[in-house]
Every structure is written in structure tokens, then in C-alpha cells.
């Protein structure tokens, strides 16, 4: 048994007619209620044959040769998800405003603080949710969520083919030039960002810029702007502030693409009050 605040359990099932709650309550010092909550938050996984997936239903019976996985992290499970805002529900996919702190993707330790889990729990009628693209945890803005595997594949293909047009707004330190294209490789892979000045504040010595990217490397916008000498305000990873006094000022403000189901062009714009304000 374990009293740690973070541990893993991997248990081969040898008896029939057991539930994950029963098995885990015998192998840990956690209460059945705590185990059920951890299951709901995505910390329990089941391997059956060649497939491994999260197990949320406490009453689901286990079978011989199943393997139960429990990834317990008290800190992760104690986190409270930040509230996302539904922009539009198109049935097979939905568009949301992701606030700072909400994750695009979960981990083996849980997924209750992700945009997909939020969508699953708050859309009516309820339906599964699948991630299509990502925004940094600290970034805000428009994010697509798919609700079928077919639509997930179709939307993912649009991103891979670069036929989804995305725009971001950011506030950066300093006076940005009127227009700049940054092409510094990221992690040895080509990366291209096009940045245009929208407004400069002499009082704050900060610039509001519009960003369009041809590639989607990890932290591409943040890294490119920092390398160019214009770090984004509130950037705790690549900024020049030891203790930022604001959240990351980077927001996905628009998406344009042809709907994979109807072929019609879709244009989505984020309301001005949710955009970075200089």
C-alpha cells in the first residue's frame, strides 16, 4: 500500500467480477470515493488486449488478463479547471475560447483540466471530444474541438495541409517594425512566422502585433519573437521579465477554413474584449 502523494500502480487482473475501485482500494490506502474521483478525472487506465484507454466507469467489471493502471498525483487531481466559453456548436465540432491555464491535452495523470474534457462535460447533448490542434497552456483564444473520429481526421488533415488560416494577436516589448518575417529554425525544423505591427504605445513601450504562422512548431511564436528581441509580455519561459505581472499576452483571434462536412467557408473572429489590449 502507498501513502505517497504521487505514485503509479500497474495491476494484472487474475480474478473475474472485480471492479477497478475494488482492486485499487485493496492495493492503496485511498478511499473508494477518492478512487472514483480519480477515475472521473482520468487517472485510471485499462489495458485490454492491444488497447489501452482511460477507465472512468467505476462499475465496469474487469476481465482476466486485463491490466489496470493507476497514475495518482494529488497535486494534479486537486487542480480546478478554468472555465472555457463556447463560441459555436457545429455538431460534429465546436469552437471554444480557451482561457489561460486550461490545457489543450491531458497526461497519464489526468485530463480534467483540458478543453476536451470541459467540452464533454458541458455540451448538450453530451458527446465525446477530441483535440485537433493545440494552444499553449498560458495562451488564450480560439480552439477547435472535434466530436467524432471522422471529423477529427478531417480537421487534423486541414491543419497538416495548412489550409486553415489562423491569426494571433500579441503584445510585445519594444517598438516593433511595420512588418517582419521570422524564419529561424526551431528544434532543427523549418519555422516561418509573419508579424505585422498593429499599434505602438509610447507610454508603455510595447507593441500590439498580428501574427500568422506557416508552420506550427512548439512555442513557435513565443520563441521567434523572443529571439528577434521582442518577447511577449507575461512570457515566463522566453520573456525578459524575472517576475511577469500579467498573463501571457498571446491570443488566437481568428480561424478560417472550409468545413470538412459541408465544404462551406467558416470564418470565426474572437470578440474584441477577449483580445490583448494595448
CATH number reported for the structural domain that contains residue 106 in this entry: 3.30.2350.10
Residue bearing cell 511577469:
244
Q: Is residue 120 part of a domain?
A: yes
> Can you list the pairs that 115-120 forms with residues at least 24 positions away whose Cβ atoms lie under 8 Å?
115/84, 115/143, 115/145, 116/145, 117/42, 117/81, 118/81, 118/83, 118/84, 119/84, 119/94, 119/145, 119/147
Residue 272 lies in a domain: no
In a domain, 185, yes or no: yes
pLDDT < 50: residue spans in the chain:
1
Sheet holding 44-48, edge to edge: 6-12, 67-73, 44-48, 51-54
In a domain? residue 184: yes
**Number of domains making up the chain:** 3
Per the CB < 8 A criterion, the answer to whether 223 and 248 are in contact is no
Q: Which of 94, 127, 161 is the last residue of a domain?
A: 161
Domain annotation covers residue 274: no
- Where is the domain boundary, 28, 46, 78? 78
- The packing angle between helices 32-40 and 20-27, to 10°, is 120
How far, in Å, CA of 193 to CA of 131, rounded?
Answer: 23
Is there a domain that residue 211 lies in?
yes
Residue 23 pairs in a beta bridge with none
175 and 154 within one domain: no
72 and 24 assigned to the same domain: yes
The burial of 193, by beta-carbon neighbours within 10 Å (0-12 exposed, 13-18 middle, 19 or more buried), is given as buried
Cell reading at 177:
517594425
- Rounded to whole angstroms, the Cα distance separating 211 from 194 reads 6
Per residue in 61-116, pLDDT (tens digit) is: 999 999 999 999 999 999 999 999 999 999 999 999 999 999 999 999 999 999 99
- What would the grid cell of residue 238 be? 522566453
Q: Which of 66, 111, 136, 235 is catalytic?
A: 136
Residue 267 belongs to a domain = no
Residues 6+ apart with CB under 8 A from 198: 169, 207, 208, 209, 210
**What CATH number did the domain enclosing 49 receive?**
3.10.290
Co-location of 222 and 203 in the same domain: yes
Helix (H, G, I), strand (E, B) or coil at 148: coil
Which residues face 107 on adjacent strands?
Answer: 110
152 three-class SS:
helix
Domain of 24, in residue numbers: 6-78
Instruction: Residue 164: name the closest of 181, 150, 149, 143 by CA.
Output: 143
275 falls within a domain: no
- pLDDT at residue number 164: 94
Tell me which of 108, 130, 161 is where a domain ends: 161
Q: Judge whether 136 counts as a catalytic residue.
A: yes
Are 65 and 89 contained in the same domain?
Answer: no
Other CB atoms within 10 A of residue 240 CB: 12
For residues 8 and 72, the answer to whether their CB atoms sit within 8 Å is yes
Amino acid at each position: 500500500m502507498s501513502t505517497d502523494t504521487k505514485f503509479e500502480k500497474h495491476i494484472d487482473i487474475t480474478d473475474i467480477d472485480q471492479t477497478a475501485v475494488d482492486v485499487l482500494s485493496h492495493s492503496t490506502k485511498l478511499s473508494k470515493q477518492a478512487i472514483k474521483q480519480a477515475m472521473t478525472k482520468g487517472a485510471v487506465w485499462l489495458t485490454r488486449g492491444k488497447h489501452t484507454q482511460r477507465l472512468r466507469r467505476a462499475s465496469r467489471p474487469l476481465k482476466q488478463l486485463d491490466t489496470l493502471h493507476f497514475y495518482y498525483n494529488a497535486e494534479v487531481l486537486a487542480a480546478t479547471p478554468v472555465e472555457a466559453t463556447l463560441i459555436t456548436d457545429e455538431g460534429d465540432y465546436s469552437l471554444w475560447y480557451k482561457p489561460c491555464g486550461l490545457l489543450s491535452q491531458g497526461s497519464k495523470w489526468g485530463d480534467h483540466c483540458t478543453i476536451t474534457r470541459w467540452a464533454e462535460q458541458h455540451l448538450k447533448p453530451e458527446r465525446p471530444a477530441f483535440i485537433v490542434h493545440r494552444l499553449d497552456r498560458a495562451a488564450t483564444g480560439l480552439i477547435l474541438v472535434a466530436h467524432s473520429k471522422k471529423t477529427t481526421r478531417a480537421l487534423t488533415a486541414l491543419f497538416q495541409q495548412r489550409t486553415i488560416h489562423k491569426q494571433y494577436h500579441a503584445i510585445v516589448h519594444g517598438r516593433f517594425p511595420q512588418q517582419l518575417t521570422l524564419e529561424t529554425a526551431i528544434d532543427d525544423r523549418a519555422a516561418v512566422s509573419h508579424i505585422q505591427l498593429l499599434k505602438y504605445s509610447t507610454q508603455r513601450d510595447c507593441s500590439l502585433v498580428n501574427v500568422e504562422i506557416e508552420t506550427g512548431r512548439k512555442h513557435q511564436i513565443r520563441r521567434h519573437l523572443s529571439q528577434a528581441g521582442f518577447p511577449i509580455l507575461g512570457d515566463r519561459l522566453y520573456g525578459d521579465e524575472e517576475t511577469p505581472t500579467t498573463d501571457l499576452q498571446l491570443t488566437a483571434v481568428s480561424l478560417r477554413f472550409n468545413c470538412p462536412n459541408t465544404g462551406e467557408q467558416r470564418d470565426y473572429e474572437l470578440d474584441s474584449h477577449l483580445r490583448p489590449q494595448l
